[in-house]
Structure formats: C-alpha cells, structure tokens
Amino acid sequence: MCFAYRDGERSEALIEHMKETANYCLHRWELDALSAKISKLLGIGQNHVKEAIIVAALTHDIGKAAEIYQIDCIKNTCKLFEGHYMVSAFLLHLAFNAKGIYLNSRDAVKFLLYNPTELASDKVLALLIVLPVITHHYHQVRGYLSYESSKHNAVSKFLDKPTIHRPCLDCFSEMLGYAEINVFKDFMHMLYNVLVSIDRLKGSDKYNTSKIFVENFFKSVIEESLKINSVTLGKVIVESISGLINLCDGFAASRSRKRG
C-alpha cells in the first residue's frame, strides 16, 4: 500500500487523499472566485488558472511517495513526512523541466515580488502549481526556517538517491484519468513518466537544475521575498491558493482518518 498517513491501525491511502483533496477544492465556491480574480489580474484564461489550482491540489502530497517516507509507513507509523512538500515541488519542477518549461529562482522572485505578467504565460501557470505546493502548510506553522532544517534530512537523502515506492507508482496511474484535468493532461503524463524513470534522470541537466531550485529555495527565493516587507500581487496569489489547498487537504484528511 501507499500511505498518506499511518498510525497503527488507522491509515489513509495516498492516492485517495490526493484525489479527495482535489475533489473538495473542485466543489468549493472559493475555487471559482479565486480563479476568476487571478485570471483577470494575470491576463490568463480562467479555465487554465482553475486547472492549475486543481493540479496543485491533486499533487501537493506526491512527495510522500518517496521510498524514504514510505519505509516508516511499512513499519507502522508515518505522520510527519518531514519536508515532503519540497520533494513534491521537486518532482513537479522536474516534470515541467522535462516538458521544456524551465523555471529558475529568478522567475519565482519576479512572480512573488515584482510583476508576474512580465513572465511567459506557461511559466506563470507552472509557478501557480509549484509555489503553492512548496509553501503549503508546514512552513506556515513552523516558520520559513523549516526549509533549511528539512533540506538536511529526508529531502537531501531523496535528492541524492531518488526512489519512488513501487506500490505508489502502481496507484498513481489513476491520476492520469482524473476527469477534471484537460489543459494539463500532457503535463500529468510527463509527471508520471518522471516518477517512473526518476532513477535514470538522476545526474541529468534537468534533474540537477530542479535539485538546485529546491535546495536553494530558502536563500534564493524566501530570503529575497522577506527583504521586501510588503504585500505584493504574487505573494497574495500564492498564499490564497495555498490557503485553499490547506483547507481542502485538512478536510480530506480529517474525514478519511475518522473513517479509518
């Protein structure tokens, strides 16, 4: 089995948690309101923005599929998954890389601090997925330094020896048929291919640039963002999407774990 959570006899399947989180977001009124406002502000079609948010919700916990986390689940308990949001963001970044959409720290800083509309639309849509995923929920509780502490533990071990738990791969093919994704259908196939071939990608230029993006996220993006202590369009957009994902994530987890 592939776990999103396990505490003795209580457990939650990862693929079910991912799909339920996306489903809850899909049926929240906030999704339509948020995607309409972001669409108008960024000059990108609402359907594209809406799907980007759904893809972020669907894939926010995909990093939990790493073997280094699932080993603890097999032993009976896995509740924290320290740094999994960074592994999730790495996998998404690598999939965009593989599709020819190259994101670097400067793009993230420009989106967060300056004018997102100066970026190409494909980069903007990619950042609408990657940034909310890498900033969803642990750092909001523990502070931004959680990026630095996580980097030296499970995250660095995964990046040095990337292995996806086999039962997770067997389940993830279900993502490809998720009915509400059309614009990003090719991307979802690329993401699955990345998961399947992650060991062969290690050491490639694409792998290394995605690794650098995640490893340097705190110093290159977060510290730069904190230097400018002001509310910006990009910050509000990312926090708003993260907030919606956290809401749906928490609702899916609490419902599932009460049943479990």
The domain spans of the chain are 3-259
Which residue did the predictor score with more confidence, 180 or 96? 96
pLDDT at position 188 over 90: yes
Confidence of residue 179 (pLDDT cuts 50, 70, 90): low
Residue 48 confidence (pLDDT) above 80: yes
Is 198's pLDDT higher than 80? yes
Q: Would you say residue 259 has pLDDT above 60?
A: no
Q: Alpha helix (H) ranges present in 136-229?
A: 138-142, 146-151, 154-160, 166-172, 185-196, 198-201, 205-215, 217, 223-227
Give residue-wise pLDDT tens across range 121-160.
Answer: 999 999 999 999 998 765 555 555 555 555 558 899 999 9
Whether 194 shows a pLDDT value over 80: the answer reads: yes
Cα–Cα distance for residue pair 119/5, rounded to 1 Å? 37
Helix (H) or strand (E) holding 16: helix 14-26
The whole-number average pLDDT for the span 66-90 is 90
Is the pTM for the entire model greater than 0.85? yes
Mean pLDDT, the chain, as a whole number?
Answer: 89
**Sequence-distant (≥ 6) Cβ neighbours of residue 236 within 8 angstroms:** none
